[in-house]
Structure 1
């Protein structure tokens, strides 16, 4: 839920974020918790330039509350035309004195799981086209997915990552967008290195920084799938990468 430009050793950069933001900050992908953290006087004083990314599921009745967050930089989970329209109209109304657009990503349900939010993949182009043509207050930044948990790379490249790559190709070809202008948000603490290798620009490595969180109905990672620190080779690929809390 924050952005950090990677230019030196990744571990040091991540620790610097922890030191500046405080371990209690930026750990919850929920609207109410983000509002509380973003309004924390200590964070506002020590990190006035912080850029908040919202990475949780966004319901339309929480849009106004979220858009009131100071330094809100990006919403990564726009998953319908109706939600895009709501965010667009609310941003125009709440930020009447500003010409700044709100960066958004379109969330795709690449795995097809009912427990996951996101657009059906075949609606990607039409949704992005709608945002570009009808939502003047929004800046389309890229595509996001939360793939199937625990995929074993011994079986080959992650199919969710490959699906998102394919959707980006389709969007760029259909809407004549430069490939480099469409970011990809995919990969977490257990698989971020593979995600970066195949083209991710945004990864969620919260448990690498803070340790694992307990989520209901989520299996415990096997030892080989637990969070890990980036290797030097991966770190070199992480320059200008956006790192968000998991």
Structure 2
């Protein structure tokens, strides 16, 4: 008998969480060491509230304005945290500094300077991941792996930015060997940075994997999987990459 596809957002979240846990166990890892980050882009804030009512407190958004809007609509939920996971233009740094708990797409000193200035003014600090372009696609933001250590060295000068790890998006498509290679490049870069005394931060976190590849990402060491569609339902196809890589 075929399994019924879950229809409610909480039911879908539970199914994904179970798949995350199973993938961690298959990889010989503890399920609690892998964070499931629900990404609510383009979806109504009511779904965020529904998951929060079940104890989910951290959500991801690709676009700053959408994250800010949802933050402002949920100020009655003081434990709710927002992770901005998409490319940041410097003119949006003030907004991120005001409300975000995490920024997972840092890829330049220019953006770091803008965030540092705004965070200092707000009297806040911010957890950040350095974004790695592990697939070499020109359409993607992020630094090539070989350029990441130089940025990591420069970030020692920024007191308000707490570098906690790396983030990447693997190449799209069904070829698991290609996807695995992307994740392994970032895992190897993590190893290098953990041994690099000049690099700012801890590099204990690897944000890798989305709805279509999170199980493979967990096998390759991911500590945070960013899942949108599998939890919140389908979106128009053009949104999938548009929200990560807006037109330059």
State the TM-score, normalized to the length of structure 2.
0.71
Q: Does 1:126 align with 2:133?
A: no
Matched with 1:149 is 172
CA 1:204–1:74: 2 relative to 1, 3 Å? same
CA 1:36–1:183: 2 relative to 1, 3 Å? same
Q: CA deviation at 1:214?
A: 1.7
**Aligned-partner Cα distance in 2 for 1:39–1:10:** 27
Residue aligned with 1:213, SS: coil
**Aligned-partner Cα distance in 1 for 2:50–2:239:** 31
Q: Does 1:101 align with 2:115?
A: no
Unaligned runs of 5+ in 2: 1-12, 20-35, 39-46, 242-248
**Aligned-partner Cα distance in 1 for 2:91–2:72:** 20
Residues paired across the two proteins, number: 200
**Aligned-partner Cα distance in 1 for 2:67–2:164:** 21
Once the two structures are superposed, what CA deviation does each residue of 1:191-233 show, in whole Å capped at 9, x if it has no partner?
Answer: 10111111101111111111122232869xxxxxxxxxxxxxx
CA 1:32–1:206: 2 relative to 1, 3 Å? same
RMSD: 3.3
**Contact 1:124 / 1:171 at 8 angstroms: preserved in 2?**
no
**Aligned-partner Cα distance in 2 for 1:157–1:39:** 36
**Contact 2:93 / 2:118 at 8 angstroms: preserved in 1?**
yes
Residue aligned with 2:210, SS: coil
**Aligned-partner Cα distance in 1 for 2:186–2:66:** 29
For 1:88, which of 102, 116, 123 is the aligned residue?
Answer: 116
**Aligned-partner Cα distance in 2 for 1:59–1:14:** 23
Q: CA deviation at 1:19?
A: 1.8
- Which residues in structure 2 correspond to 1:45-124 (within 5 Å)? 45=76, 47-69=77-99, 72-95=100-123, 100-124=124-148
**Aligned-partner Cα distance in 1 for 2:37–2:162:** 27
Q: Does 1:139 align with 2:168?
A: no
Residue aligned with 2:103, SS: strand
CA 1:186–1:14: 2 relative to 1, 3 Å? closer
For 2:71, which of 13, 38, 47 is the aligned residue?
Answer: 38
Runs of 4 or more off by more than 3 Å in structure 1?
Answer: 11-18, 25-28
Residue aligned with 2:113, SS: helix
**Contact 1:106 / 1:143 at 8 angstroms: preserved in 2?**
yes
**Aligned-partner Cα distance in 1 for 2:179–2:198:** 27
**Contact 2:103 / 2:128 at 8 angstroms: preserved in 1?**
yes
Residue aligned with 1:76, SS: strand
Matched with 2:215 is 193
State the TM-score, normalized to the length of structure 1.
0.71
Unaligned runs of 5+ in 1: 1-5, 220-246
